[in-house]
């Protein structure tokens, strides 16, 4: 559930600030790869269903080896249970296959997003199918759930899904609201504690300078979305890591159908390197902490992707492939995709 305001017609750089900063920004936008050589990345929040194959290729080329796709709001409300069912099925089915065709290990979290929790009749039906999908292979948590407008219905289904997560011993991925963020974040954490969830099983997402201290102090994981306009820019992210260190902090792109950047993590890593943050700290916030938190689901085996996935684009999923007529399948990681 990551929206953008419509008032910005263009997609500018993530960077704000002085001309010196802007120069660094340009360097990172165009040449981040020079700084991130040898690094691997794990994006724990990216909505690939909304992205193209070019994005998958760019992610793979930039060193992103694994991703988590949270179930979310599609930009318009679904009108029936069948659309939820098909969407969840695609997250553990076609989308995972599509990702594998570019050498990226794909996991997902499954949940009822806050916005659609407000359609209570439908929400009740969705709650009934969640346990089935949460048991599926590669589902690493309940998410993304939480508050949007902070309504009574959102509260009700957030609590119900926390109970589900507790029962199934799964991590929770909590979306925090854009409006009244501080209040919404505190409320999300208080309710999680009230329901007896261990803070280390809860990833509080979309943090900023106002929320990070409390999230870390209370023992939760703190995720940051590097997103144009509404959330964190990467300059600000560098300052957060300088101030709070790398424990329990993670970076994500939350790239979706809006103005967003799937390469936000490698670009932020490059900027961190330029700004003197150690490679060990960079790898914690761009890889290891995402892995550690969601591996608590028991569904992630690092050995599956640490050395990259074997790519065989001649494979099919239910008879369908990522290729179109006349395109040659890529079967070797080092070969060129489009010939």
Q: Out of 32, 35, 72, 157, which residue is the one contacting Zn ion (CB under 5 A)? A: 72
Contacts to Zn ion from residues 171-230, by CB under 5 A? none
Q: How far is CA 59 from the centre of its chain?
A: 13
Complex with Zn ion: residue 254 or 271, whichever CB lies closer: 254
DSSP state string for 280-297? HHHHIIIIIHHHHHHGGG
Name the one range near Zn ion by CB under 5 A: 34-42, 253-261, 268-276, 290-298. 253-261
* Contact status, residue 227 vs residue 254, Cβ threshold 8 Å: yes
Residue 254 in contact with Zn ion, rule: CB under 5 A: yes
Residue 2 in contact with Zn ion, rule: CB under 5 A: yes
- Packing angle of the helix pair 152-168, 181-194 (nearest 10 deg): 40
Q: Could you tell me how many residues of this chain bind Zn ion (CB under 5 A)?
A: 3
DSSP state, residue 153 = H
Note the residue count of the chain: 339
User: Which residue(s) pair with 106 in the sheet?
Assistant: 67
x/- map, 262-301, Zn ion, by CB under 5 A? ----------------------------------------
Tell me which H or E stretch contains 49. Answer: none
Contacts to Zn ion from residues 80-109, by CB under 5 A? none
Instruction: Tell me which residue has its CB nearest to Zn ion.
Output: 2
Complex with Zn ion: residue 2 or 130, whichever CB lies closer: 2
Name the one range near Zn ion by CB under 5 A: 50-58, 72-80, 285-293, 306-314. 72-80
Q: How far is CA 142 from CA 240, 247, 261, in A?
A: 27, 22, 24
Phi, psi (deg, nearest 5) at residue 291: -60, -50
Structure token pair of residue 45: 């929040």
Complex with Zn ion: residue 68 or 282, whichever CB lies closer: 68
Smallest gap from Cβ 256 to Zn ion, in A, equals: 6
Q: In this structure, how many other beta carbons lie within 10 angstroms of the beta carbon of residue 219?
A: 13
Complex with Zn ion: residue 111 or 266, whichever CB lies closer: 111
Q: How far is CA 7 from the centre of its chain?
A: 24
First and final C-alpha spacing in the chain: 36
Smallest gap from Cβ 70 to Zn ion, in A, equals: 5
Complex with Zn ion: residue 24 or 176, whichever CB lies closer: 176
Complex with Zn ion: residue 2 or 122, whichever CB lies closer: 2
Complex with Zn ion: residue 25 or 55, whichever CB lies closer: 55
* Contact status, residue 140 vs residue 298, Cβ threshold 8 Å: no
Name the one range near Zn ion by CB under 5 A: 17-25, 77-85, 248-256, 278-286. 248-256
Nearest to 60 by CA among 51, 70, 71: 51
Name the one range near Zn ion by CB under 5 A: 25-33, 68-76, 178-186, 275-283. 68-76
Residue 142 in contact with Zn ion, rule: CB under 5 A: no
Smallest gap from Cβ 224 to Zn ion, in A, equals: 13
Spell out the residues 6+ positions from residue 60 whose beta carbon is closer than 8 angstroms to its own: 102, 103, 104
Complex with Zn ion: residue 2 or 237, whichever CB lies closer: 2
Name the one range near Zn ion by CB under 5 A: 30-38, 116-124, 194-202, 251-259. 251-259
Tell me which H or E stretch contains 110. Answer: strand 105-110
Smallest gap from Cβ 33 to Zn ion, in A, equals: 26
Binding site for Zn ion (CB under 5 A): 2, 72, 254
């Amino acid at each position: 559930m990551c929206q953008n305001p419509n008032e910005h017609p263009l997609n500018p750089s993530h960077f704000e600030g002085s001309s010196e900063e802007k120069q660094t920004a340009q360097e990172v936008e165009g040449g981040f790869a020079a700084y991130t050589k040898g690094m691997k990345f794990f994006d724990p929040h990216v909505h690939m269903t909304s992205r193209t194959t070019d994005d998958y290729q760019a992610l793979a080329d930039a060193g992103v080896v694994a991703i988590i796709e949270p179930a979310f709001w599609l930009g318009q409300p679904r009108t029936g249970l069948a659309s939820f069912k098909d969407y969840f099925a695609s997250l553990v089915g076609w989308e995972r296959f599509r990702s594998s065709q570019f050498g990226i290990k794909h996991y997902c979290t499954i949940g009822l997003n806050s916005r659609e929790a407000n359609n209570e009749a439908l929400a009740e039906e969705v709650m009934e199918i969640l346990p089935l999908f949460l048991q599926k292979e590669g589902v690493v948590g309940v998410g993304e759930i939480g508050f949007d407008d902070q309504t009574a219905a959102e509260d009700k289904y957030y609590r119900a899904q926390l109970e589900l997560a507790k029962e199934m011993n799964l991590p929770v991925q909590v979306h925090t609201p854009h409006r009244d963020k501080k209040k919404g974040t505190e409320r999300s954490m208080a309710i999680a504690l009230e329901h007896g969830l261990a803070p280390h099983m809860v990833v509080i997402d979309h943090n900023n300078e106002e929320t990070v201290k409390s999230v870390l102090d209370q023992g939760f994981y703190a995720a940051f979305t590097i997103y144009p306009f509404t959330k964190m820019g990467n300059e600000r992210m560098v300052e957060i890591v300088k101030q709070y260190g790398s424990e329990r902090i993670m970076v994500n792109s939350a790239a979706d159908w809006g103005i967003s950047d799937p390469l936000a993590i490698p670009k932020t890593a490059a900027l961190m390197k330029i700004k003197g943050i150690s490679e060990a700290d960079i790898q914690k916030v761009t890889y290891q902490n995402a892995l550690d938190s969601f591996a608590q689901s028991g569904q992630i085996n690092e050995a599956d992707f640490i050395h990259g996935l074997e790519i065989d684009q001649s494979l099919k999923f239910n008879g369908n492939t990522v290729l179109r007529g006349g395109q040659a399948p890529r079967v070797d990681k080092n070969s060129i995709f489009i010939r």
